[in-house]
Amino acid sequence: MRSFSPFRFFWILLFPLLLLLFFGCADAGQGEVGGRVSWVHDGDTLKVDGIGTVRMIGVDVPETAASERDRYLRRQGVSSPIQRQTAKKALHFVIDEAKGKTVRLRFDGDRQDRHGRTLAYVILPDGRNLNRLLLEEGLAAVYRRFDFQLKKEFLAAEKEARDAGRGMWKK
């Protein structure tokens, strides 16, 4: 009969936990993870507990202060004052829709941008895609610089908002 070994007992308990963590995280890295939105930085960037800063894939919300990035939207007929208003509306929209709620993050291509932010689609508790909602409300434009899986869908949502004169596309 073997004697009781605390070291062996420890590894018997710890090994399955380590396997779960390793394979669970590896799987989550491919598809989705979840967390509670604890802060909203601006209309397209938020903080998710356990994840960090998340930049929403495929959308570009105007900045709260004038910047070089204004040029694209000005060429689209959106004045700088309307861009500032839209930035504030988008911030409040994301706060209302997501802050304090547990969301799912869905990944697509690169997991991080050059600033170290996690890139993701933000899926609300009711299953709606927050990135797309910003486009539908006219609070964001499609970020065209990079390809992503939902680009065609997002371009259609932006066009629909433009045609309907919603948000910054108001006629």
Token digits for 11?
């590894």
The residue behind tokens 């570009």 is: 60
Contact by Cβ (8 Å): 122, 98: yes
Per annotation, catalytic residue among 97, 117, 136, 137: 117
Within 13 Å of residue 42, how many CA atoms lie on the same side as its CB? 15
Token pair for residue 80? 């700088």
Check 55, 137, 158, 162 and give the catalytic one. 55
| Residue from 92, 89, 110, 106 nearest 161 by CA | 89
Nearest to 146 by CA among 75, 10, 47, 55: 55
Of the candidates 145, 135, 146, 143, the one whose C-alpha atom is nearest the C-alpha of residue 168 is 135
Which of these is catalytic: 2, 32, 36, 63? 63
Catalytic residue flag (residue 2):
no
Structural contact between residues 138 and 170, judged by C-beta atoms closer than 8 angstroms? yes
Residue 55: active-site member:
yes
Helix (H, G, I), strand (E, B) or coil at 112: strand
Positions marked active-site: 55, 63, 117
